[in-house]
Amino acid sequence: MSSHGPGLIRSTLGWLEERFAAQGTTTEEIVRLEHHRQGAMNVTVRNIITSMRLMSNFDWKEFFESISRVDEVLRAGTDFATLDFPTRDRYRHAIEDLARGSRCSEVEVACRVVARTKEAAAANDPGHERRHDPGYHLLSQGRAALEHELEEIRRTGWAQSSGEVDRGIWAAAAAIRDSASAGIGASTRFSISCRHSASLSGSSRIVAAFSLPPPQPGR
């Protein structure tokens, strides 16, 4: 624009000011807002870079193991904590695989593994040192027996021991009708129960939910 002389620059600036005035703002306000936007963008980029550095320095393995309930069970009942991370990770993946095809949670599978290691230690028969290792039941010769136990639970739908606590949810729905037998809504009852023998007494909580449609004109 400078090559066309100051007259063109003044006319262009005047045209811009008229356009801004028609929009209820000024050139100075537009410049101020742009500087504010760029400053906010710079702060955002700096915060992202700082967060990425913190995330890269964070020990995610240690964090995961500190909040894992499976790890908590295995550490409390076996020498799981003394193993190296790759071995512990293999055990966790084995538990995940066993739980996926059964009616048990991963925590319950871990509890059953701990119970088997304790039974082996109490028996004190030849070879009990190997059976005292969770890996014997998860990855070695003891896995078949553990799979059979989990399969029995999956087949029957009930725990084979009194120690299993595996929460499930069931629901039943029923229509709500008025005196003219017209449907006006629905009621749903949810029960959060423990699969513990055949009785749910003392282990159930009932939550009732009602769903009503909006009122119709003239009713």
86-128, pLDDT tens digit by residue?
999 999 999 999 998 787 889 999 999 999 988 887 777 666 6
Query: Do 122 and 181 belong together in one domain?
Result: no
Q: Is the pLDDT of residue 207 over 70?
A: no
CA 12 to centroid of chain Cα atoms: 59
CA distance 161 to 53: 49
Query: Do 11 and 74 belong together in one domain?
Result: no
Q: Is the pLDDT of residue 69 over 90?
A: yes
Instruction: Please provide the distance, in angstroms rounded to a whole number, between the alpha carbons at the two ends of the chain.
Output: 73
Number of domains in the chain: 3
Query: Do 65 and 6 belong together in one domain?
Result: no
**Max mean pLDDT range (3-7, 17-21, 58-62, 158-162):** 58-62
| 123 falls within a domain | yes
Query: Do 69 and 9 belong together in one domain?
Result: no
pLDDT band at 46 (very low <50, low <70, confident <90, very high): very high
pTM above 0.75, yes or no: no
Whole-angstrom CA distances from 138 to 42, 50, 91, 106, 147 are 52, 41, 7, 12, 9
Higher pLDDT, 160 or 104: 104
CA distance 175 to 173: 7
The pLDDT value given to residue 40: 92
Q: Can you tell me the mean pLDDT for 190-212? A: 39
The pLDDT value given to residue 75: 92
Domain region containing 148: 60-156
Whole-angstrom CA distances from 140 to 83, 94, 99, 132 are 16, 11, 17, 12
The pLDDT value given to residue 203: 37
Instruction: Give the up-direction half-sphere exposure of residue 28: CA atoms within 13 A in the CB hemisphere.
Output: 0
Extended beta strands in 63-197, E state? 167-177, 183-194
Instruction: Report the mean per-residue pLDDT for the chain.
Output: 74
Query: Do 146 and 85 belong together in one domain?
Result: yes
pLDDT band at 18 (very low <50, low <70, confident <90, very high): confident
CA distance 184 to 176: 6
| 64 falls within a domain | yes
Picking from 178, 180, 203, the residue whose alpha carbon sits closest to that of residue 191 is 203
